[in-house]
Structure 1
Amino acid sequence: MNLHLKHIKVYHVLGIFSLVSILYYNFHDHIQFPVYYTWQPKMSFVGVNSTRFMIKTSSKTCFEDFYVNGWNSYWLMQDSLNGPSKSRVSEMMKRGAQMGMTVCRTWAFSDGDSPNALQVSPGVFNERVFKGLDYVIVEARRHRIRLILSLVNNLNAFGGKAQYVRWAKEAGINVSSSSDSFFSNAVIKKYYKDYVKAVVTRRNSLTGVKYSEEPAIFAWELINEPRCESSSSAPALENWITEMAAYVKSLDPKHLLTVGLEGFYGFKTTEKSTVNPGKWAASLGSDFIQNSAIENIDFASVHAYPHSWIPHSDLDGMVDYLSNWMDAHIKDGQEVLKKPVLFSEFGSPLRKKLEGPYDRDILLKQVYDKIYESAKKREAGAGVLIWQLLVEGMKQYRDEFSLVAREHPSTYNLIVQQSSRLKNISSQGNANRKFHHIGRCLA
């Protein structure tokens, strides 16, 4: 073949590739075939072995420990709904990967009658928004980021459990006005199950891969920060977790599952009351040990917001509180639950004294050091997800704890350093053990 013909073939291939690219970026919302699928990197499902997350190595017969340094960006699905904001989703995944982070937690819910709601009424979904979630998953996998997808909000933002109660009332169901009905009413529980089934069994419109078969999903979270209006609803919450955990596992045995707890100790564990940030915490109906011990819950989740929970304390008091809070939960994960403990939200405002480092950096370093020390000992402290990361131009999602990491070099460096040292520990955890296909690792 002469050089001229070779050039023609090269130009022909490049022309086809360019045409496909143009068609995709202009009309991808209407394309039904899996454009992205063949470009996706291979990933393994994450499992658990007692108190540690595990991941299969390339040998397929070995695994290594998987310690998490990650972040929260709850807004990803909402920003995936149109072209201009989609770029922020891609950029956030790119930056997270560049900082060595491996897991992002985000909302897989938006309930109500707003134009960008995912579930507009019980069992009725906005396909445009679902495609936004498809895109989030594709971009996560493209950057080798794993997602924790939360399935409903305890709070009223994005609908939450209160929206489910309103739907039941509008349908003529005799239901209490308390949002605690979400945990006990049979009709409302059926609404939630129908929603979970629609999400967990969905086939991604961009890749053709079912969510239940997608390794870029790290875990499902039943509910973000479950609380009860009355402490008398605590048994209903515990029964709800038991029922819904079993249901999710019946649909998807491959992925890990967590509750979404803040980590408060309830009345059943009164000996732990001094660990709570105040007496109010035990009255919220949740119980870290009782709820996390439920059979189908694979790992425990904990949140930490010292500035919000003990607002009248000085920085030294917050440091002491945070130290005790983390030690207690890691110890309970190790000795009582025998499950990994993931601090899935840690938030602190910037705040800086006239001299010295930011409050946030002092507290974040303490959190990171606690996880690092636990990881070195192969104990239950499995990782931290900072709340929350943004990219530039996102004022509508800002709160007192949010940050654009690159605008704060000291915090950025802490994140990168934590990623590096956890990666080193993970790579030292190789072992010759079988990895169970349903998401658990057997010694």
Structure 2
Amino acid sequence: MSDQRASRRRVLAALGATGMGSFAGCSGLLKEDPTADGSQTAGSSPGSTTDSSLNTAIANGDALRITEFSYEETSVRQTDVVTLTLTVANEAVEPVEADLVFQTVEDELHAETQSIPSESTTTVTAQRELLQTGEYPFQAAVVYDGAVVATVETSISVDEFPSSFVGVEGTDFTLNDGTIYLSGADANSEFLVGLTHPHHKQLRPLVFDGLEHIGASVLRLFVSTAPVEYGGPFPGEDNEKFFRRFDMAVTEAKRRNIRLSIPIMSGGPHYDAHPVDHLVNHVPGYVYAAETAAEIDDFYRNEECIELYKEWVEELLTHENHLTGVEYRHDPTIMMWELGNEIAWTEPWTRESQTLRPWIEEAGPYVKDLAPDQLLTTGVHGWPDGRNDFVGDYQPDCIDACSLHYWVGPGHYDLSESEAEALLKEKIEAAHDRLEKPLWFSEYNWGHPAHPDSPGELADGFLEERNGKLEKWHTRLDESDVAATAVHQVSPKEVVEGLMERKRSSTTIYPFEDDGTVEELRRYARLTREKSTATAVPELADSES
């Protein structure tokens, strides 16, 4: 038996002669000229022989027969890898060498040259990941002496996965027949989308491996804020490169059964509200693009800025993933959209009112009309320091859940323990009791100033301190039935210090190296799964994987 790869040119020529090459619209396979570098002859093809009686028997279908073309799976869903089995019987008294071929709807070919023993069978297999829903046809053939002597077809029905959208009931997220609590992380979109990195295909699975290891069931996936000249997206521009990369990230989340919350763009919070002179998908970038806008805050009140934002919303939500064939707005993997990450007035504490409600009531219904099956939140910071009107900004009916970014450590707002506890209590009560909506605890971690002597190194005792804070917060979140959480941020050491050659920050979590932190995140992930009543809750990955 030979496991050498069959000649693609020889196989294509044989399939073309029978019309099999145009199977399922794959006519492009036949455009290759089989005689471009010399035609195959009977004497040079596998299976050629001077025994004309054997050739005749094979040509008549009396010697080589397909006895099985099957797959084991009883039900198949998106991202499943199916194994197709092809068994060919040789009823002749001599061994026969032939090409055994698999052809799919997507013009891909798997072919092997096999020596089939006399009066015996040979079995070959091929695996295929199925990403698109619906009927997925496959065809197999036996090619002998440049001619197709046997063919068979089968079709696999592929179901949508996940099978349903996350919903809302009161202060809970729901999934089909019950409640679902989710825990996960933010991750650097630079690593997940990788617009500026030629090795993005290495970065993405490594980050998702880390997310899976900590037990993440939800990921806050940022739309890139890379400038347009580096492949970043912007309404009206050529966004193909961005979408192809973003498609890969969405599809990888689908493979891992990790739900996504996606900020549509980045805001212009007070620490990053400087004018820009290039197109980029954040508030200053929109102001730069709008001829009638003069200052950063015009984004929330200028009609041209609002129309540009809506143009991007429509392009993003109606984009069809080139891998799955599903528009983003119809994909249950995307649990929720966020109007923007940390949207706020530039100096909100100087204003009589900090609310963005008029803008939210303009933008929110536009998103919900396009994507009624997916949830919507604002993405505001939610702090009591004059940045946002937490209650006012979440009152509009178009907003399904409240989000909160909780930065209370010495590396950020440096609140005392009592102040931090009071803040968390206040926001949970506001979301659950006053607004009667779920709380999406979408950014949190214990940040610390950089090590004074070694930037990028954690201060002595920092990990133990962080682990204690996380455990305390998780216990409080669990007791309060907070619907979903995302710790900020998970990036593997192999990515940060290896491929990217960077220094870590105190809010970077290494998902395989940070002793205690990983165990605590997995502990909380286990709690969220145990208290969920929905039957379709994702399983917690093995800690050894």
Shorter-chain TM-score: which interval?
0.7 to 0.9
Larger Rg belongs to: 2
- Counterparts of 1:259-408 in structure 2, within 5 Å, are 259-265=378-384, 281-282=385-386, 284=387, 286-307=388-409, 308-311=411-414, 317=416, 319-349=417-447, 358-375=464-481, 381-391=482-492, 392-395=494-497, 398-408=504-514
Q: Measured at CA, do residues 182 and 408 of structure 1 come closer, stay the same or move farther in structure 2, by a change above 3 Å?
A: same
Pick the structure with more strand per residue: 2
Size of the aligned set, in residue pairs, is 379
8 A Cα contact 1:183 1:236, kept in partner: no
State the secondary structure of the residue aligned to 1:393.
Answer: helix
CA offset at residue 83 of structure 1?
6.3
What amino acid does structure 1 have at the position aligned with 2:162? Answer: K
2: CA distance, partners of 1:161 / 1:303: 19
8 A Cα contact 1:80 1:86, kept in partner: no
Residues 284-305 of structure 1: per-residue CA shift (max 9 Å, x gap):
3x21110011110000000011
8 A Cα contact 1:80 1:136, kept in partner: no
Q: Measured at CA, do residues 21 and 418 of structure 1 come closer, stay the same or move farther in structure 2, by a change above 3 Å?
A: farther
CA RMSD after TM alignment: 3.2
What amino acid does structure 2 have at the position aligned with 1:123? Answer: G
State the secondary structure of the residue aligned to 1:166.
Answer: helix
What amino acid does structure 2 have at the position aligned with 1:52? Answer: D
What amino acid does structure 2 have at the position aligned with 1:383? Answer: A
User: What's the % identity of the aligned pairs?
Assistant: 24
1: CA distance, partners of 2:314 / 2:254: 22
What amino acid does structure 2 have at the position aligned with 1:385? Answer: A
8 A Cα contact 1:73 1:389, kept in partner: yes
State TM-score, norm by structure 1. 0.77
State the secondary structure of the residue aligned to 1:369.
Answer: helix
8 A Cα contact 1:74 1:105, kept in partner: no
State the secondary structure of the residue aligned to 1:212.
Answer: helix
1: CA distance, partners of 2:395 / 2:196: 38
What amino acid does structure 2 have at the position aligned with 1:390? Answer: S
Selected match of 1:224 from 341, 346, 357 = 341
2: CA distance, partners of 1:112 / 1:13: 49
Does 2:181 correspond to 1:67? yes
8 A Cα contact 2:355 2:393, kept in partner: no
Residues 8-34 of structure 1: per-residue CA shift (max 9 Å, x gap):
9359778658x94899xxxxxxxxxx9
Does 2:301 correspond to 1:184? yes
Residue equivalent to 2:132: 37
Structure 1 regions of 5+ residues with no counterpart?
A: 24-33, 57-62, 266-280, 376-380, 431-443
Residues 332-389 of structure 1: per-residue CA shift (max 9 Å, x gap):
11210000011100022368776696221122112211111112xxxxx212210001
Q: Measured at CA, do residues 111 and 197 of structure 1 come closer, stay the same or move farther in structure 2, by a change above 3 Å?
A: farther
Does 2:155 correspond to 1:53? no
Residue equivalent to 1:92: 207
Residue equivalent to 1:135: 248
Q: Measured at CA, do residues 6 and 87 of structure 1 come closer, stay the same or move farther in structure 2, by a change above 3 Å?
A: farther
Pick the structure with more helix per residue: 1
- Counterparts of 1:110-189 in structure 2, within 5 Å, are 110=225, 112-119=227-234, 122-155=235-268, 156=272, 159-168=281-290, 171=291, 173=292, 175-177=293-295, 179-189=296-306
What amino acid does structure 2 have at the position aligned with 1:402? Answer: T
1: CA distance, partners of 2:355 / 2:474: 35
8 A Cα contact 2:185 2:220, kept in partner: yes
8 A Cα contact 1:81 1:132, kept in partner: no
State the secondary structure of the residue aligned to 2:356.
Answer: helix
State the secondary structure of the residue aligned to 1:295.
Answer: coil
8 A Cα contact 1:77 1:107, kept in partner: no
2: CA distance, partners of 1:235 / 1:350: 28
1: CA distance, partners of 2:441 / 2:463: 23
Q: Measured at CA, do residues 356 and 118 of structure 1 come closer, stay the same or move farther in structure 2, by a change above 3 Å?
A: closer
State TM-score, norm by structure 2. 0.63
State the secondary structure of the residue aligned to 1:257.
Answer: strand
What amino acid does structure 2 have at the position aligned with 1:176? Answer: A
Bigger CA drift: 1-10 or 241-250? 1-10
